[in-house]
Amino acid sequence: MADTPQVALDERVKEISPLRRALIRPELGGIIGAVAVFTFFALLAHDSGMFNAQGVMNWSTVSAQFMIIAVGACLLMIAGEFDLSVGSMIGFAGMMVAIFGVTLGWPMWLAILVTFAICIAFGALNGYIVVRTGLPSFIVTLATLFILRGFTIFIPQTIERKTIIGGIREAAEGDWLAPIFGGKIGGSLFQWLGDAGVIGTFSRGNRAGQPVVDGIPMLIVWAIVLVIFGHILLTRTRFGNWIFAAGGDAQAARYAGVPVNAVKIRMFMFTAFCATVFAVCQVMEFGSAGADRGLLKEFEAIIAVVIGGALLTGGYGSVIGAALGALIFGVVQQGLFFANVESSLFRVFLGVILLLAVILNTYIRRLITGER
Amino acid sequence: MKSIIKTMALTAAVAAAPVIAAADGHGDDLNYILVSHAPDSDSWWNTIKNGIALAGEQLDVTVEYRNPPTGDLADMARIIEQAAASDPDGIITTLADYDVLSGPIRAAVDQGIDVIIMNSGTPEQVRELGALMFVGQPEYDAGLAAGQRAAADGVESFVCVNHVISNTVVAERCRGFADGLGVELGDSMIDSGQDPAEIKNRVTAYLTANPETDAILTLGPTSADPTIQAVKEMGLDGEIYFGTFDLGTEIVNAIKDGTINWGIDQQPFLQAYLPVVVLANYDRYGVLPGNNINSGPGFVTADGLEKVEEFAGEFR
């Protein structure tokens, strides 16, 4: 939304005070929520280790996981579509890396690249079916959810006779591409912090003297990069305007010359890309792929996006908001453990927060758009 | 008069206060976390929850239960990391996938937290991670104990009905049983598949082809239920020696009517209860058992059924 210099005073342009303009943004709900959540846990769980180095790394990692899939889900949702196959895609992509890299013994970089190609192709297929048939994406991707999950269980069972394939870390030794997903950066900085006594160090074992947090996982780097990329794409490019237009009113956008179908298919591909990034980071970190990985992750992505203020019906939302939603989600999920809340009540809290966030976001959106 | 009574009551209360406090606890505030790999939908773990609740109450310690809601092991790894960050006195966790969980568990041990592995994992893996001990049912040992029991009852040959042939860990039960009997496993293990009708037919076929078979061993309700039917249809119920792993409604009924001699329970209650006891006493008095604890095999026979039925789903 570039500001055009106003030459003459136009009665159609309403004067808004700078403060109000700064306040009424789609991210506002996310910002308020994030502040509220941090305040809540600072009061309730300040001495539980939630805010020491390990605790911060823990909820940051979980939030980063949500963020990676939320960016894709957010852009797709603004373009007016849904992807319910994200969770299955995570399981499937991880399994593909394991099959290619461990079972078939390909070099890890090739396994990763081929996995990306296959998964993005599945995303394109999702998008193609949606725009060709005009079926709701909810239904199409629900089918993909089952198809991919089925393959994820079937393929390793036929080849390996088991549903968990390990040995990925060993297979990725010395690979040039694997560390981009599974590595850590800033090790020396954390070592220095540990030596200086700022963060805790291991007291025993073969890692004695090493800091408890030994670097920032690439997962977090990916999350930040994707959020920045998504934000710039959405707010600073022509393509970003097309995304809004495609989700706002597809027919009107077509009349205005926006390639709505191409935009939607590309967003499905981007969502698949995000899911694959998530999956590859996960298998590189944990060294094994399992057939049940990623269950229900698609809903977690959608929840993060909705907490961040996007509209389920498309045409409205922000990537920064989705990132804040992911942060809130991650902090709440891990924070409830730190605060020693009975784990069976976890979903109750989640539901309440989701509801509050949506009500707040609806109110803010009405302020912005003036709709009633 | 009233005021005197009040004063006396107050005095009594003040005098008794330290006594109450002493009776109320050990002056410590021990806090343990049990992390499982089970999704919320898995009812087997309800017994575990009840077990730690009871142990916490009896020993005056706090024990929390945590699990990944969908059973996603990667989420479980994050929960173990989280548990370590909150610096509890001990962590009790399963080792459902060594690749995924070894990193977080080792980090917790290095940080100085006592870890006990329960339910799944092998003694070798437990040693490797530097955990205190393993509390569970080692499959080979359970099979061996069952085989020795059968040998004492005069069994000399057997058939093992295996419905999860791809699971090498479960196959150890049959190997242990054969060693307990002192016979070769050889062709005694049949791959029955998962389909009830197929299982029934294969067991019938085997028993027809090998009429001298003394005993049947099934590895869970999946293979036990159709095998019970096969045995009854052949008129061998009560005639052939029949043992099974795990309990289920059909199995309990078959134990009642004498078709099955015993069922093997891995006693999840003990897998939850004992680690808390061990950790609490280790923290308080520095005492530690010198070996892993086998929570099973617990043999359930017609005599012990009463308690099993009474506490089914709660403590059994």
Scanning A81-140 for CB atoms below 8 A from B yields none
Put simply, the answer to whether B130 touches A347 (Cβ < 8 Å) is no
**Per-residue confidence at A190, pLDDT binned at 50, 70, 90?**
confident
Which of B50, B78, B166 should one mutate to test binding to chain A, selecting the residue with the greatest count of A CBs within 10 A?
B78
Question: Could you tell me which of A94, A69, A100 has the C-alpha nearest to residue B100?
Answer: A94
How much is the average pLDDT of A151-180? 89
Q: Minimal Cα–Cα distance from A62 to chain B, Å?
A: 8
Question: Is pLDDT above 60 for A6?
Answer: no
Question: Is pLDDT above 70 for B8?
Answer: no
Q: Determine the 3-state secondary structure of A116 from DSSP.
A: helix
CB A183 within 8 A of CB A171: no
Q: Minimal Cα–Cα distance from A346 to chain B, Å?
A: 9
| Phi-psi label, residue B36: left if phi above 0, alpha if psi -120 to 50, beta otherwise | beta
- What's the pLDDT at B19? 39
- What's the pLDDT at A175? 92
**Per-residue confidence at B25, pLDDT binned at 50, 70, 90?**
low
CB contact, 8 Å: B73 with chain A?
yes
Question: Is pLDDT above 90 for B17?
Answer: no
**Per-residue confidence at B282, pLDDT binned at 50, 70, 90?**
very high
Which of A50, A56, A159, A164 should one mutate to test binding to chain B, selecting the residue with the greatest count of B CBs within 10 A?
A164
List helix spans (H) across B41-167: 46-59, 73-85, 98-110, 123-129, 139-152
Scanning B129-168 for CB atoms below 8 A from A yields 130, 166
Residues of B in contact with A205 (CB under 8 A): 106, 109-110, 130
- What's the pLDDT at B6? 52
- What's the pLDDT at A319? 96
**Per-residue confidence at B5, pLDDT binned at 50, 70, 90?**
low
- What's the pLDDT at B2? 52
Question: Is pLDDT above 80 for A11?
Answer: no
Percent of chain A with pLDDT strictly greater than 70: 95
Scanning A142-201 for CB atoms below 8 A from B yields 157, 161-162, 164, 166-169, 200
- State how far the Cα of A241 lies from the Cα of A237, in Å rounded to an integer: 7
HSE, CB side, 13 Å, CA atoms: give it for residue A121: 7
**Per-residue confidence at A191, pLDDT binned at 50, 70, 90?**
confident
How much is the average pLDDT of B97-124? 93
* Lowest model confidence (mean pLDDT) among A230-244, B127-141, B153-167: B153-167
| Residue of chain A whose alpha carbon sits nearest to that of B31 | A340
Question: Is pLDDT above 70 for A9?
Answer: no
CB A277 within 8 A of CB A94: no
User: To the nearest whole number, what is the mean pLDDT of chain B?
Assistant: 88
Percent of chain B with pLDDT strictly greater than 70: 92
How much is the average pLDDT of B6-26? 46
Residues A247-269: tens digit of each pLDDT: 999 999 999 999 999 999 999 99
Question: Is pLDDT above 70 for A5?
Answer: no
Residues of B in contact with A61 (CB under 8 A): 78, 81
How much is the average pLDDT of B19-43? 74
Put simply, the answer to whether A292 touches B106 (Cβ < 8 Å) is no
| Residue of chain B whose alpha carbon sits nearest to that of A211 | B111
Question: Could you tell me which of B168, B160, B166, B149 has the C-alpha nearest to residue B186?
Answer: B160
How much is the average pLDDT of B81-95? 94
Question: Is pLDDT above 60 for A123?
Answer: yes
Question: Is pLDDT above 60 for A244?
Answer: yes
CB contact, 8 Å: A361 with chain B?
no
CB pairs under 8 A between A and B: 102
Per-residue CA distances from A23 to A3, A48, A148, A334, B315 (Å): 17, 34, 43, 29, 56
CB contact, 8 Å: B232 with chain A?
no
Q: Minimal Cα–Cα distance from B70 to chain A, Å?
A: 6
Percent of chain A with pLDDT strictly greater than 90: 59
Residues A57-102: tens digit of each pLDDT: 999 999 999 999 999 999 999 999 999 999 999 999 999 999 999 9
| Residue of chain B whose alpha carbon sits nearest to that of A91 | B72
- What's the pLDDT at A139? 95
Question: Is pLDDT above 50 for B281?
Answer: yes
- What's the pLDDT at B242? 96
- What's the pLDDT at B14? 46
User: To the nearest whole number, what is the mean pLDDT of chain A?
Assistant: 89
User: Count of H helices and E strands in chain A?
Assistant: 16, 4
Residues of B in contact with A293 (CB under 8 A): 72-74
Give CA A127 to chain center in angstroms.
19
Residues B293-315: tens digit of each pLDDT: 999 899 999 998 988 888 888 88
Question: Is pLDDT above 50 for B74?
Answer: yes
CB contact, 8 Å: B258 with chain A?
no
> What are the tokens at A46?
């300040």
